[in-house]
Amino acid sequence: MAESLDKQVERLLQAGTSKKAIFTRLGTEENQAKLLFLLNNKSLLFRRRKYMWVNLLLGAVLLAMTLRRLAAISAAGHFDFYLAADFIVPTINFYVLREIFRFHRTGYLFLSILTCLSLLYPENRVMPDLGVNIGMVAAAVYLYSRLFPKNERIS
């Protein structure tokens, strides 16, 4: 079975190949749009290593916030129609967590936007959560700007 385009791109990035070289090597008429998205969505290996600890700290904070939310849902103890709605936020958080740990650009964008939007909810504006949320937004924007510089985007 042939290796998927996503796995091929990841393998070549892990080998240290540049994004432009990957584009010329794997680019065809049929997969050009998908390949552009994949290359612009992934960071280079040396940047992943450089910012790994900041990324792990951001992921740990997001995981802690998600687990705290799940604990609050289970402590409420109500099993009704709205229980499914309670799991929307943790599900989205686990998706964003997956994207962050894989160093995908969309994860940092989603995290910064959704965390800013979460500040509209009064529960997230209480002092311990307010500082954590602002810190998560700052870390996500910092990592986004460092891992995905504008001059390296392929168009």
Task: Print burial letters for 62-74: b (CB count within 10 Å at least 16), e (below 16).
Answer: beebbeeebeeee
pLDDT value of residue 125: 84
pLDDT at residue 80 greater than cutoff 90: no
Euclidean distance between CA atoms 53 and 30, whole angstroms: 38
Asked whether 93 and 133 are in contact (CB, 8 A), the reply is: no
Q: Residue 148 has which token pair?
A: 């995905």
Q: Please state, in angstroms and rounded to a whole number, the distance separating the CA atoms of residues 32 and 72.
A: 45
Residue in the block written with tokens 């065809």 = 28
Q: Which residues pair with 42 in a beta bridge?
A: 104
pLDDT at 139 exceeding the cut of 80: yes
Mean pLDDT of 28-37: 86
State residue 45 phi and psi, 5-degree precision. Answer: -60, -40
pLDDT digits (tens, 9 = 90+) for 42-63: 898 889 999 999 999 999 999 9
Of all residues in the chain, the percent with pLDDT exceeding 90 is 45
Vertex 91, ends 145 and 117: CA angle to 5°? 50
Q: Of 75, 132, 128, 136, nearest to 110 (Cα)? A: 136
Q: DSSP class of residue 3?
A: P
Q: What is the mean pLDDT of the chain?
A: 88
What pTM was estimated for this model as a whole? Answer: 0.86
> How confident is the model over 86-108, as a mean pLDDT?
93
